[in-house]
């Protein structure tokens, strides 16, 4: 089924085999959790669990050391998405994490965007970049990244995000950075409503004027907030496998997808970090069908919502939406 993918982190998109190969190439000793065929068991709802998650992510990121590594990661991410039916991918990256090895922020963005354009041509999938600031760093760093993102707006950057542990700091600390991004014509897509509750989503709306919310599932705990999201048409980039892996919910059935859907909140299913959570985009749709009983018509509507919430050009959106209708018509009742 054609769809768009709006919540995929850069390092987290890596294939496990690629991680092992690059680690061997550079002599990086990986912890057993990253060498196993099974995804690591992560419970990030407490400080120790989140620290372990971040440590594994940082270890994986350490094997990306050259422009060739970046190009490989982006190409393989595009190949995986194309195989899952995605016709548009917005990949999220904090360039400061790679800049020390790639010659600085501007050269890093040039390498990433060149890789995105090449992968798009090779795979036929439309691609764009969301530059994400790190909530754990100083808000001045976020302003620097916002200006950087605006600088590359016409070269493939379409949005500005805010990631990492939302329990740290306040969304309003980053309001200036998001104002820079919005005034520069970029989409605002901060994380909220995952490790923290509904107030985190509300802060993203009120303080950062979010157009999309990364995750947002905890909004289900506040009916008034659900109405607000629905009325404003703010899309939640929901990543159910990630929510379970990180311990936000105990099992797939507990993720409140049906609550958001029935409240009219637009959703775009995402894989978040397949490297660590073990499942990619199509698996999220299977989970929704199998664990929440979504019908073909409802799955098709989720795919449409992902496309409408994307920054894909109008002709790409129309092609994908038409493809969703064709998929639905071809499916047996």
Write down the catalytic residue from 80, 90, 166, 194.
Answer: 194
Which residue ranges form the domains of the chain, and what is each CATH number? 3-330 (3.20.20.140)
Cross-strand pairs, 9: 92
**Considering the entire predicted model, what is its pTM?**
0.95
Confidence at residue 333, expressed as pLDDT on a 0 to 100 scale: 52
Known catalytic membership, residue 194: yes
Nearby residues of 91 by Cβ (< 8 Å), 6 or more positions away: 8, 9, 10, 13, 74, 77, 116, 127, 128, 129, 130
Spatial distance between the Cα atoms of 38 and 16, rounded to a whole number of angstroms: 10
CA dihedral sign, ordered 215, 144, 127, 108? negative
pLDDT for position 332: 65
Nearest to 283 by CA among 326, 234, 249, 245: 245
157-163 and 187-192: which strand pairing? Answer: parallel
pLDDT digits 0-9 by tens, 131-168: 999 999 999 999 999 999 999 999 999 999 999 888 87
Choose among 84, 82, 28, 76: nearest CA to 56.
28
Over residues 281-296, the pLDDT tens digits come to 999 999 999 999 999 9
Length of the chain: 333
Question: What is residue 93's predicted lDDT score, i.e. its pLDDT?
Answer: 98
Going residue by residue through the chain (333 aa), what tens digit of pLDDT does each one get?
A: 999 999 999 999 999 999 999 999 999 999 888 887 676 667 666 667 777 888 899 999 999 999 999 999 999 999 999 999 999 999 999 999 999 999 999 999 999 999 999 999 999 999 999 999 999 999 999 999 999 999 999 999 999 999 988 887 789 999 999 999 999 999 999 999 998 899 999 999 999 999 999 999 999 999 999 999 999 999 999 999 999 988 899 999 999 999 999 999 999 999 999 999 999 999 999 999 999 999 999 999 999 999 999 999 999 999 999 999 999 999 665
Give how far Cα 136 sits from Cα of 52, 162, 209, 320, Å: 15, 10, 20, 37
Residues 146 and 104: beta-carbon distance below 8 Å:
no
> d(Cα 56, Cα 49) in Å, to the nearest integer?
11
């Amino acid at each position: 089924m054609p769809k768009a993918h709006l919540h995929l982190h850069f390092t987290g998109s890596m294939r496990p085999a690629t991680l092992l190969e690059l680690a061997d190439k550079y002599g990086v000793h990986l912890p057993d959790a990253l060498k196993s065929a099974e995804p690591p068991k992560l419970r990030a709802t407490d400080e120790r669990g989140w620290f372990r998650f971040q440590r594994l992510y940082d270890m994986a990121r350490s094997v990306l050391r050259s422009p060739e590594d970046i190009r490989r990661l982006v190409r393989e991410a595009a190949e995986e998405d194309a195989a899952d039916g995605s016709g548009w991918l917005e990949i999220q990256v904090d360039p400061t994490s790679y800049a020390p090895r790639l010659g600085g922020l501007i050269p890093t963005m040039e390498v990433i965007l060149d890789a995105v354009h090449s992968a798009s041509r090779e795979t036929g999938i439309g691609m764009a970049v969301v530059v994400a600031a790190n909530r754990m760093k100083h808000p001045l760093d976020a302003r620097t990244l916002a200006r950087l993102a605006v600088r590359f707006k016409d070269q493939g950057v379409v949005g500005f995000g805010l990631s990492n542990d939302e329990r740290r700091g306040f969304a309003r600390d980053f309001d200036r950075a998001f104002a820079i991004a919005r005034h520069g014509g970029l989409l605002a897509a901060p994380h909220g409503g995952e490790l923290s509750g509904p107030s985190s989503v509300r802060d993203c709306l009120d303080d950062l004027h979010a157009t999309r919310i990364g995750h947002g599932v905890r909004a289900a705990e506040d009916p008034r907030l659900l109405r607000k999201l629905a009325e404003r048409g703010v899309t939640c980039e929901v990543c159910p496998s990630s929510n379970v892996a990180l311990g936000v919910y105990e099992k797939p059935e507990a993720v409140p997808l049906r609550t958001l859907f029935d409240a009219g909140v637009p959703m775009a299913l995402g894989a978040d970090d397949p490297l660590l959570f073990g499942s990619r985009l199509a698996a999220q749709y299977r989970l929704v069908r199998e664990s929440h009983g979504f019908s073909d018509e409802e799955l098709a509507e989720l795919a449409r919502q992902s496309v409408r919430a994307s920054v894909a050009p109008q002709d790409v959106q129309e092609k994908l939406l038409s493809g969703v209708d064709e998929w639905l018509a071809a499916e047996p009742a």
